[in-house]
Amino acid sequence: MTFDEGRGKLFVFKKWSSEGFCMIVTRFAPSPTGYLHVGGARTALFNWLLARRTGGKFLLRIEDTDMKRNTPTAMRQVMEDLRWLGIEWDEGPEVGGPHGPYLQSERRAIYDKYIRQLLDAGKAYYSFDTAEELDAARKLAETEKRSNIYRRPAVCPTEADVEKARAEGRPVTVRFAVTATEPIVVHDEIRGDVSFDPAEIGDFIILKSDGFPTYHFAVVVDDELMGVTHVIRGQEHLMNTPNHQLLQRALGFRIPTYAHMSVTVSESGGKLSKREQPKAVQKYMKEHGVIPYAALTAKIGADELEAFRSGHNDALNKVQMQDLTKFYSVKGSNVDELRGKMSAGLEIVRQLVDGRIITESELVDFLEGNSVPDIPIIEKIAEHLGIRLPEINVVDFFRSGYLPEAMVNFLALLGWNPGDGREIMSRQELVEAFDLSRVNKSNSLFDRDKLLAFNTEHIKRTPMPTLVGHFRRYLAAIESPVAKADDTLLEAIIRMNEGARTLEQIEQKTRFAFVSNDQVRYDAEAVKKVLQKGDGLAMLRAVREALAGLQELTPEGIESLLRNLAQAQKVGLGKIAQPLRVAICGTTISPPIFNAVDLLGIDNTLKRIDIALKHFA
């Protein structure tokens, strides 16, 4: 069977329709190390799309063979995120299926059986190298500028040697013996044929010393046993594929169809990864002179530093000064600015340390790039400092008010397109148009602006009941006071915010109506510009008077009232609307003013006008 003749749709159709029972089976196999991130979501989506397009099956398998990296809640989170995106699996955790269990940690007996098979056939052997020995070999290869290929012993260890090694406390692993001499060719649906020299592939570990199989082994066994026909995965796995094919040959397994997708890169270059968030925090800290005292005194003696801080300029020499100005990115030698930045930075450090968010030594390590705190700590720091972290995980986008429809649409178009110029597409349209042959080879940048545009478009076209559901879920997640509204009111709120780009914007523009009058936060700049400058306050008084006499509260009624008032005062509507807006919302950003007043109610509107008049007059 040749796999590379006629890529994509035609080929795919020929295969399963002519053979009838040969259904396409794809899978998503995340390791539960945290939340589902967008790269993973894209991989899952492409697999799901192919399965749905061809009437095949999509399954979910949890690759939890690394005890050190697993986090207990990750699996549940990943499943929740997939479901939010609308990516449902036909087989896998919680839904079951004939090929279970779907957690690799529960399949150890299966792997052991196949390991034994390879061992008995002389296709794999035991090895007892320590981490230090392996490390030394790696370093040597590096200095000699060659690939690090494991050197197979002349005589393979026996079972007796295993006992002896165990007794000596040496780690026991099993390696696969790579004996191929011919080039290994991977037929890739996206890249065509890729050839690998077997001399470049060392004997790799298939069973770890803790008794768990490595990824390479587990993935091969499970894909076979679960009947996976098509493997769509990231390009980072392309180099692993010859290893997998070698194992498949040795075990007598079928070789699935492979498709290696391009990598999604971030603005800062490199793979879009969870590292982006710590990076953002680090950048903020560096820009704001957040440098722990310990790091400072390591550079400059404590006595001199204190002398400098307390105002003795000459306490520092030229070199130290240059060092500090560079450190704090202060231009020239502006001593006052330097002092200001230093104390502001130290103040932030104090808050973080006193708030027990992070210890000083951890902070030093983090800023010097020696270690990275866990994401929850990063999140706490970001929250404390008011840093907006870049969204990386699917759940981050949910919390920022994005629609799953927009995410799915955007992700699908990252490296794929329907070929007819369409961009905004529903899930159903994507399923109908998806085709492996139209998947790109080149890396693509995750363009947040474009995602925003997609979200704006999807807010416009998502049916109202669905949108209300999304909005309610969003409000609950961020614990918004707007969650008090019933569905009818939520629908009205969405309608009055026509043109909004995210659910977050809608929430931010309407929450003023759901907080008590004394909780309104007045934006200082808005107050100054709109109320206190010109005749803002006078207009506000006029508005109050007019509104007090209002008979019936409807947006239309308020509109004609305000328009008449503007005419009577011989000013544009803006001169009336803006002061009123600031008085009731606290900012210059709100839904259309007539709706805003209607939403808040006349009593509270009048009360807030009074409060504003009292405070800002």
Partner RNA sequence: GGCCCCAUCGUCUAGGCAGGCCUAGGACACCGGGUUUUCAACCCGGCGACAGGGGUUCGAAUCCCCUUGGGGCUACCA
CB 257 within 8 A of CB 189: yes
Contacts of RNA in 214-253 (CB under 7 A):
214-216, 219, 235-240
The Cα–Cα gap between 182 and 269 comes to 37
Site for RNA (CB under 7 A): which residue of 19, 168, 336, 449? Answer: 449
Helix (H) or strand (E) holding 234: strand 230-234
Q: Does 482 bind RNA (CB under 7 A)?
A: no
Helix (H) or strand (E) holding 598: helix 593-600
The CA-atom distances, in angstroms, between 605 and each of 150, 505, 515, 602 are 76, 22, 12, 5
Q: In terms of CB distance, is 236 or 287 closer to RNA? A: 236
**Neighbour-count burial for 424-444, b at 16+ CB within 10 Å, e otherwise:** bbebeebbebbbbbbbeeeeb
Site for RNA (CB under 7 A): which residue of 14, 22, 69, 532? Answer: 69
Segment interacting with RNA (CB under 7 A) among 43-51, 108-116, 196-204, 287-295: 196-204
Q: Site mask, RNA, residues 508-547, x = CB under 7 A?
A: -x--------------------------------------
CB 340 within 8 A of CB 347: no
Contacts for 519 with CB less than 8 Å, ≥ 6 apart: none
Outline where DSSP puts E strands in 412-516: 444-445
Q: Does 151 bind RNA (CB under 7 A)?
A: no
Q: Does 358 bind RNA (CB under 7 A)?
A: no
Segment interacting with RNA (CB under 7 A) among 44-52, 358-366, 410-418, 544-552: 410-418
Q: Does 374 bind RNA (CB under 7 A)?
A: no
The Cα–Cα gap between 36 and 41 comes to 7
Handedness of CA 70, 75, 77, 82 (dihedral sign): positive
Site for RNA (CB under 7 A): which residue of 5, 347, 383, 447? Answer: 447
Q: Does 141 bind RNA (CB under 7 A)?
A: yes
| Total of chain residues touching RNA, rule CB under 7 A | 91
Site for RNA (CB under 7 A): which residue of 355, 419, 534, 601? Answer: 419
Q: In terms of CB distance, is 417 or 604 closer to RNA? A: 417
CB 240 within 8 A of CB 216: yes
Q: Site mask, RNA, residues 269-308, x = CB under 7 A?
A: xxx-------------------------------------
CA 396, distance to chain mean position in Å, is 6
Contacts of RNA in 165-194 (CB under 7 A):
171, 173, 191-192, 194
Q: Does 443 bind RNA (CB under 7 A)?
A: yes
Q: In terms of CB distance, is 131 or 154 closer to RNA? A: 131
Segment interacting with RNA (CB under 7 A) among 205-213, 277-285, 305-313, 534-542: 205-213
Q: Does 574 bind RNA (CB under 7 A)?
A: yes
φ, ψ at 456 (rounded to 5°): -55, -45
The Cα–Cα gap between 228 and 254 comes to 10
Q: Does 466 bind RNA (CB under 7 A)?
A: no
CB 341 within 8 A of CB 281: no
DSSP tally for the chain: helices H, then strands E: 28, 11
How many CA atoms, within 13 angstroms, populate the side-chain half-sphere of residue 175?
19
Segment interacting with RNA (CB under 7 A) among 42-50, 259-267, 354-362, 516-524: 259-267
φ, ψ at 274 (rounded to 5°): -65, -15
- Minimum CB distance to RNA, residue 607 (Å): 20
Q: Does 417 bind RNA (CB under 7 A)?
A: yes
Q: Does 334 bind RNA (CB under 7 A)?
A: no
Segment interacting with RNA (CB under 7 A) among 41-49, 346-354, 572-580, 600-608: 572-580
Q: In 10 A of CB 26, how many CB atoms?
A: 27
Q: Does 588 bind RNA (CB under 7 A)?
A: yes
- Minimum CB distance to RNA, residue 318 (Å): 35
